A and B are shown apart, each in its own frame.
Chain A
Amino acid sequence: MNLRNYTLKIWRQKDKFSPSYLDTIQVKDISPDMSLLEMLDVVNNHLITINKEPIAFESDCREGICGACSIVINGIPHGKERGTTACQLHMRHFEDGETITLEPWRAEAFIPIKDLVVDRTAFDRIQQAGGYISVNTGSAPDAHSMLIHKNAADEAFDAAACIGCGACVAACKNASAMLFVGAKISQLAHLPQGDPERKRRTNAMVMQMEKEGFGSCSNTLECEAVCPKEISTKVIAELNWEFIRSINN
């Protein structure tokens, strides 16, 4: 096996009150079959054995679906491979000897916690503002009582594939969350179940998004390019449409 060496430049920050700095770490003997996070595991295990603070980074499912991992890799959220989360990015995509810069998501709405970990509860609060259909448990009619056009169901699914990782915000020059918010709004707008609440929902979510301090959308399409689930900016157009419709609410 051809093992590889890398130079890591990593954003370190003890907590939100502390200043940040770029730490340089040399790593050796990395297998190309490792994922980037497994490479960081190797680094961390070594740091622990020499009693140094390991690099804090977030991950959970490590199969690209939970949305926990959140690293800007060489200036691109989740790295340069399209449709891939950082946990699914393997070291075979990096040249031997390469310098790899790792930074956290940066946005005022995402407060630093430690090193590469940031607080993304702003996303939860946007969802809490209206990202749901109001139906109490047990009150639903039979699932087949409502026919839904296959295309509508498919489009709703495409939007619902969002994993809430925040790469769209990290990549946007305005730190805008329009792709994230648009994904939820689009999902529910395509389905007849979502119709009664569409105006209230759009208004509430947009207002919360603004309150959290996310920027506006300049339609640069950068978010769509870094989205690990390749969610289309069509959902932003749909969000705009729903917003325009909700104005006379």
Chain B
Amino acid sequence: MINPKIPNGPIENKWANYINNSKPINHANRSKYHIIIVGTGLAGASAAASLGELGFRVSSFCFQDSPRRAHSIAAQGGINAAKNYKNDGDSVWRLFYDTIKGGDFRAREANVYRLAQLSVKIIDHCVAQGVPFAREYGGLLDNRSFGGSLVSRTFYAKGQTGQQLLLGAYSALNRQISAGTVKSFPRTEMQDLIVVDGHAKGIVARNLITGELRAYTADAVVLATGGYSPAFYLSTNAIGCNVSATYRAYKKGAFFANPCYTQIHPTCIPQSGEHQSKLTLMSESLRNDGRVWVPLMHNDHRSAEQIPEQERDYYLERKYPSYGNLAPRDISSRAAKQVCDDGRGVGPGGKGVYLDFSNAIRRVGKSVISARYGNLFDMYIKITGENPYDKPMRIYPAVHYTMGGLWVDYDLMSTVPGLFVLGEANFSDHGANRLGASALMQGLADGYFVLPNTIAGYLNQIKPGLIKDNDLRITESVDTSREYIRRLMMIKGTKSPDYFHRELGKIMWNDCGMARTESSLRRALSEIPKIREAFWKDVNIPGSDMEFNQTLEKANRVADFLEFSELLCLDALKRNESCGGHFREEYQTIDGEAQRNDEEFCHVAAWEYKGLGNEPVRHQEQLKFENIHLAQRSYK
């Protein structure tokens, strides 16, 4: 059993008690502590800015050319906050409850409650930063409703909320860079975590322009490096998103929790062919006004407008009358898969369902719909060449977010002391399924409010600046990384890294995707090592490692996916239940819903690395539900 170090007291007071009992670092001493933050998304940028403001010495790393390009920028829909500005009965408790329930009772109560409490302050802070949220004519902030919730608590900036929030965090980061508290290292990718005497003491990073490898030492390391969706090759994540930072930390002793919890987003643009490099998400907010349907008849090849109303199956409204088209993501995704497997899918290959706006356009007018979703519609037109104002969109689920991540305690510290993990990279708040508009909330809560209050607890225990760059143990880490890259460069095979990545993706999507079975997972577990072996024999990286080399960057990341995917499948295999985004076909109710097994699996699975080829050890953190009664999730 691993200990999450949850503070005592009633859930409402845990965070306040924690802060009251914590001991901040003396202001004069803060600049003695050097903190490395990897990743500049919502969590990383907000953490770097906030720690900089407090007076710590911060180094911020990202592999992109600018901190502003982190993939948080692509989040569309919005950010939840329990402001109850709409007077529709929202509260911190309700947001807490919705998140726990949405996560299918696999999240840690204390963390989620803290998240709900902090959600309120996030909005205040972002508004003060100049984030242009949508407003009503009275000058107040507007809200909309979002999947998995009965109240309107989602704040948004058209369909570009993630962009606006990230630019807000980026501007706060810039302010600190300009003030000299934060040093920025763009185009510098983490290669390895440096662990000295069991504590995280820095990273080895590669300058992507010159290829130079060097160690950066620090008193604490923060990973805010996002999720691992591209393990499936096709996902809505950016091309550069990768598991390398968290996976290499895992190899250095950080436990990886619940890797099998992956979220499939129901509203993405269907794949058009083999060449496809990524899938594009259409914000879930579309489901506020769009109605999802497929033809009632099998293999119906008529175009949408030729199918009369009575021959359409609005299956979400039929199956989940109270939530209807707003059913949570995992439920809507699986429902789409079911109707497509049933032979009623639309579009090329029958892999798609309709999302129809004709009703909404008739009801509120084209201009209102255009104001709400204009940019999403434009995006759809660009990609597909079809106009959703005239004919229904075609959508299909795609991998979108990963709830699993490095295990962290209440302080957001991993099992390696001094290594903190924020945002999507950790596992803590979303359980087995994340509700819409919650990822932005979590990333910012972790970065702005949680870490700045919890990191002192660790820093108080250590002496700053103990490790020097020329320490033998540090130079050894650099040599190990150099040797690893040299091995990759030396393979000189015949295939591109993309080839192996795509092969991996096919296995993952087919055998470990929306629905998993024991046999499919066993198949995947036997196939993945073969691809990995082929990769290490036959990948080719032209050019040298001492220059800008995108093939090397890619190969470096694919190599980690090829190891990590095995862990993902193994976790899925060992979790003999269905919950949220993890759906095992063997474990379902009569009407096809996820069947949890609270007796045996009401816990977090945290995996400990034991060397390549050895099965990792599965640790457990028991989840205690003291405030919410465990129940079968129902959205009917």
A193–B129 contact, CB under 8 A?
A: yes
Q: Which of B292-320 contact A (CB under 8 A)?
A: none
Smallest CB separation, B448 vs chain A (Å): 5
Q: Indicate if A147 sits at the interface (CB-CB under 8 A).
A: yes
Q: Which of B73, B83, B178, B449 contacts A66 (CB 8 A)?
A: B73
Q: Does A114 contact B548, Cβ atoms closer than 8 Å?
A: yes
Beta-carbon nearest neighbor of A139 in chain B: B128
Cα distance, A149 to B157, chains bound together (Å): 15
Which residues of B lie under 8 Å from residue A121 when comparing CB positions? 65-66, 186
Q: Are A137 and B499 in contact (CB under 8 A)?
A: no
Task: Let me know if A58 and B130 touch, CB within 8 A.
Answer: no
For residue B338, CB closer than 8 A to chain A, the reply is: no
The distance from the CB of A212 to the nearest CB of chain B, in whole angstroms, is 14
Residues of A within 8 A of B171 (CB): 127, 131-133
Q: DSSP majority for the A interface?
A: loop
- CB pair B135–A191 under 8 Å, yes or no, is no
Cβ of A160 under 8 Å from chain B: yes
Q: How far is the CA of A187 from the CA of B239 in the complex (A)?
A: 29
B73 contact set on A, CB distance < 8 A: 61, 65-66, 163
Q: Whose C-beta in chain A lies nearest to the C-beta of B182? A: A128
Q: Are B382 and A84 in contact (CB under 8 A)?
A: yes
How many interface residues does chain B have, given as a range? 35 or more
CB neighbors of B among A161-202 (8 A): 161, 163-164, 187-188, 191, 193-194
Knowing A48-B495, A83-B378, the reply to whether A134 touches B175 (Cβ < 8 A) is yes
The stretch of B109-117, B273-281, B389-397 that contacts the partner chain: B273-281
Task: Say yes or no: A68-B163 contact (C-beta < 8 A), given A132-B174, A141-B124, A148-B135.
Answer: no
Whether B121 sits at the interface, judged by CB under 8 Å, is: yes
- Chain A residues within 8 Å of chain B by Cβ, number: 83
Assess A153 versus B379: contact at CB under 8 Å? Given A48-B540, A60-B239: no
The segment out of B94-102, B138-146, B411-419 that lies at the interface is B138-146
Q: Taking A34-B273, A48-B495 as contacts, is the C-beta distance between A68 and B65 under 8 angstroms? A: yes
Closest Cβ neighbor of A194 among chain B residues: B130
Q: Report the bound CA distance from A127 to B177 in whole Å.
A: 10
A38 interface residue per 8 A CB criterion? yes
Contact with A along B532-560 (1 / 0, CB 8 A): 00000000111100011011000000000
List, in ascending order, chain A residues with CB within 8 A of B277's CB: 35, 37-38, 41, 62
Q: Does B585 contact A (CB under 8 A)?
A: no
Q: Specify which chain B residues have a CB less than 8 angstroms from the CB of A123 in the assembled complex.
A: 66
What is the minimal beta-carbon distance from A232 to any residue of chain B, in angstroms?
15
Determine the chain B residues whose CB is within 8 A of the CB of A135 once the complex forms: 125, 128-129, 172
Q: Mark A122-160, 1 if CB is under 8 A from B, else 0.
A: 011001111111111111111110111110011011001
Closest residue of chain A to B162 (Cβ to Cβ) is: A65
A59 to B272, CA, bound (A): 20
Task: Scan B157-179; emit 1 where CB is below 8 A from any A CB, else 0.
Answer: 11010011001001110110110
Surface stretch bound by B, among A49-57, A96-104, A219-227, A238-246:
A49-57
A124–B278 touching, CB < 8 Å: no
Contact partners of B66 in chain A: CB under 8 A:
120-121, 123-124, 164
In the bound complex, what is the Cα–Cα distance between A66 and B139 (angstroms)? 29
CB-nearest residue of chain B to A141:
B124
Alpha-carbon distance A33/B269, docked complex (angstroms): 13
**B71 nearest CB neighbor, chain A only:** A61
* Distance, CA A92 to CA B273, complexed state (A): 14
Report B313 CB to chain A, min CB distance, Å. Answer: 28
Assess whether B611 is interfacial by the CB under 8 Å rule: no
Known: A56-B550, A134-B175. A150 touches B273 (CB 8 A): no
**Interface members, chain B 453-502 (any A CB < 8 Å):** 492, 494-499
A149 to B139, CA, bound (A): 5
Q: Is there contact, CB below 8 Å, between B132 and A120?
A: no
B383 at the A interface (CB under 8 A): yes
Are the CB atoms of A65 and B65 closer together than 8 Å?
Answer: no
Cα separation A14 to B548 with both chains bound (whole Å) = 9
Beta-carbon contact of B133 and A160 below 8 Å: no
Contact A45 B498 (CB under 8 A): yes
User: With A31-B273, A123-B66 in contact, is A147–B125 under 8 Å at CB?
Assistant: no
Interface residues of A in 40-84 (CB under 8 A from B): 41-42, 44-45, 47-49, 51-54, 56, 58-68, 81, 83-84
Q: Given A38-B276, A88-B383, A147-B140, does the pair A140, B124 have CB atoms closer than 8 Å? A: yes
Find the A residue at minimum CB distance from B49: A137
Q: In the bound complex, do residue B139 and residue A148 qualify as a contact, i.e. CB atoms below 8 Å apart?
A: yes
**Shortest beta-carbon distance, A151 to chain B, in Å?**
9
Q: Across the interface, which residues of A come within 8 angstroms of B67, CB to CB?
A: 124
Query: Quick one: closest A residue to B271, CB to CB?
Result: A33
CB-based contact B124/A60 at 8 Å: no
Indicate if the CB atoms of B547 and A15 lie closer than 8 Å: yes
Partner of A193, one of B121, B128, B186, B448: B128
B621 contacts A by Cβ under 8 Å: no
A45 to B495, CA, bound (A): 8
> Does A90 lie at the interface of the complex (its beta carbon under 8 Å from any beta carbon of B)?
yes
Report the bound CA distance from A61 to B230 in whole Å: 12
Is B551 a contact partner of A66 (Cβ separation < 8 A)? no
Q: What A residues does B175 contact at CB under 8 A? A: 128, 132, 134
A149 to B136, CA, bound (A): 8
List residues of chain A with CB within 8 A of the CB of B272.
31, 33
CA distance A47 to B236 in the complex (A): 26
Distance (Å) between the CB of B386 and the closest chain A CB?
Answer: 12
Given contacts A124-B174, A132-B171, contact A56 B548 (CB under 8 A): yes
Q: A153-B133, A188-B130 are in contact. Are A92 and B385 (CB under 8 A)?
A: yes
Hey, which chain A residues are within 8 Å of B44, CB to CB?
none
B126 CB contacts on chain A under 8 angstroms: 143
| B517 lies within 8 A of chain A by Cβ | no
* Alpha-carbon distance between A104 and B459 when the two chains are bound, in angstroms: 46
Residue B184 at the chain A interface, CB threshold 8 Å = yes
Binary flags per residue of A87-112, CB closer than 8 Å to B gives 1, else 0: 01010100000000000000000000
Tell whether A65 pairs with B164 under 8 Å between CB atoms, given A123-B66, A140-B125.
Answer: no
Q: Which residue of the partner chain A has the closest CB to B138?
A: A147
* Residue from the list B383, B494, B548 in contact with A15, Cβ < 8 A: B548
Name the distance in Å between B267's Cβ and chain A's nearest Cβ.
13
Q: In the complex, which residues of chain A have a beta carbon less than 8 angstroms from the beta carbon of B275?
A: 31, 33-34, 38-39, 41-42
Query: Is A161 within 8 A of B160, CB to CB?
Result: yes
Say yes or no: is A119 at the interface (Cβ < 8 Å to chain B): yes
Determine if A113 and B139 form an interchain contact, defined as CB atoms under 8 angstroms apart.
no
Alpha-carbon distance A153/B470, docked complex (angstroms) = 52
Known: A61-B238, A63-B280, A68-B64. A143 touches B186 (CB 8 A): no
List 20 additional contacts besides A140-B124, A143-B127; criterion CB under 8 Å. A31-B273, A37-B277, A41-B277, A47-B542, A60-B71, A62-B278, A63-B278, A63-B379, A65-B74, A113-B548, A120-B65, A120-B66, A131-B171, A133-B130, A135-B172, A137-B46, A143-B83, A149-B139, A154-B132, A160-B157
Could you list 10 A-B pairs, sorted by A, with CB under 8 Å? A15-B548, A44-B496, A45-B496, A47-B542, A48-B496, A60-B240, A127-B68, A128-B174, A135-B172, A193-B129
Please list the 5 inter-chain residue pairs (A to B) with the smallest Cβ-Cβ separation, ordered nearest first.
A147-B139, A140-B128, A132-B171, A157-B132, A48-B496
